[in-house]
Amino acid sequence: MNRTHLGVPRVQRLEYLVAFLESYGGDEFDEKQAQRDIQQKIHYFEVEKANALGRQRPRTPKGTSTLRECKKLSRHLRLIDRFNRLTPDAAQVLDPNQRTVFLLERMWQVYPRFGQLVLAVRDAERMGLPMYESEDAFRQATGSRYNLEFDSLTFETIRDLATQLGLINWYPTEKRNQSIYPVASVVTFAEIACLAGCPVENDTFVQRCRHQTAIDLNLLVVRDGRYEAHLHSDVMNQEYVVLQTESDRVFIKNHIVAPEDFEQILWREYLSLSQMRSRFPVLYPELRNKVCAALRISDQVFNQQILSLIRQPQRLYIYPSGGVLNYAANLAHLGKFLPPKTAQGNFIIYLKIERKGA
C-alpha cells in the first residue's frame, strides 16, 4: 500500500500500545495475554472515567478491536516483525525516556498524513471543525477550510496521537464543534531552505516559528531585512527535537510560558468563568481548556503548573476541591479531559482562586 494512503490504526491512547508491547514474554507473542493486558489498561481508564462522573458501574469492553489495532500499529512502526516478534526498536517505546521522540519520528516517517495534519494546524493557528456530524459534513469542512482530505476517524486518531505526543491540543466548543491549535513550534528544513533570499516576515504564527527556528539553529542569517543561507550551519540545540525522515528534517520546540504569564492568564480566565467572583468554584476542565488555548500549551503543562502553584503559591491562592464532572454520558473523548488527582488520590473537579492581598 502506498504510504500516502496508509491508514493510521485506531489506537486511542498510547498506553494501549505500551500495554501490548509489555505483554510479551521475551520475544514470544501470546494473544490471550496481550488481550488481557490491554483489557486491563482499558478497564483502568474506564474506572477513572466512571469515578470522575460519579458512576458505580464502568464499561467493560473486551479490547479485541484495540488488540487488533495495536498489532497493526506495531507492525507499521516496525516494533514487531511479520512473525509478531518484537524488534529492537520496541525497547525505545518501552523506555519512557525515549518513547515520545521515537514515536514522533517514526510516525512522521510512516504516516504522511500525521505530519500533514500537524502542519495544517500550525498554519491555521486555530482550526475549527464539526464533531459528531455526518461524514459528508466533516469532509466538506476539512476540505473547504483547510484543504485536507481526511475522514473523521483518521482525523480523530491523528489528532489524539499528536495531542498525546505534545504537538497540538484541542477542546470541544459549543454547537458540536471542536477547536484545535498548536502547542509546539514545528518546522521542516525544506520550509527554512525556501526562505533564503526572501524578506523577513513575522506577522503570523507560522512565520514566527520558521524565523525563530532558522535563527536558533544557525540555518539562516538576516542581512538588510532578508534571509541568507548560513554556510556553517549547526543544528545542535538542546531546546529542539530533530526528527529525520526519508527526505527532510523536522525541528520541534515546545512552547515555554513564563510562570508570571501563566498566572496572569489563569486569573483572567478564572474571573471570566466565575463572573468576576474570587473563590467561586469553576470546573477544572473548563478552566484548563480556556487557559491552554490562550497560551497554546498542553493539558499536561497546565496540570503541572497548577499542582506546583497549589503546593507553593506565588501571586494566587488556589484551592482544589472534589465533586462530579458534568459531562454527557456518551462523550467519547472524556478520557482526554480527566483532571489530575490530589496527593490523596481524589480528582480535582473544581478550582477556587483568589489573588494574594485581595
pLDDT per residue as tens digits for the range 184-212: 999 999 999 999 999 999 999 999 999 99
Separation of CA 273 from chain center? 24
171 found inside a domain: no
Same domain, 218 and 268: no
pLDDT at residue 330, rounded to an integer: 45
30 found inside a domain: yes
32 found inside a domain: yes
pLDDT at residue 358, rounded to an integer: 64
Same domain, 273 and 190: no
Same domain, 18 and 97: yes
Same domain, 285 and 301: yes
Same domain, 317 and 249: no
126 found inside a domain: no
Supply the pTM of this predicted model.
0.93
Same domain, 7 and 104: yes
Same domain, 2 and 92: yes
**Which ranges in 282-340 belong to alpha helices (H)?**
284-295, 299-311
Same domain, 263 and 240: no
* Letter string b/e over residues 84-111, b meaning 16 or more CB atoms within 10 A of that residue's CB: bebeeebebbeeeeebeebbbbbbbbbb
61 found inside a domain: yes
Same domain, 265 and 321: yes
DSSP secondary structure code for residue 86 in this structure = B
Nearest Cα residue to 104 out of 163, 176, 155: 163
What nine digits make up the cell of 38? 490491554
Residue segments in the chain with a per-residue pLDDT below the cut of 70: 1-5, 231-235, 327-333, 358
Q: How confident is the model over 278-327, as pLDDT tens digits?
A: 999 999 999 999 999 999 999 999 999 999 999 999 999 999 999 888 76
Residues spanned by the domain of 240: 185-254
Taking the CA atoms of 217, 219, 223 and 227 in sequence, report the sign of the dihedral they define.
Answer: negative
Same domain, 208 and 263: no
Mapped onto helix, strand or coil, the DSSP state of residue 2 is coil
pLDDT at residue 1, rounded to an integer: 43
173 found inside a domain: no
Q: Based on the structure, what is the number of domains in the chain?
A: 3
pLDDT at residue 234, rounded to an integer: 66
Same domain, 193 and 288: no
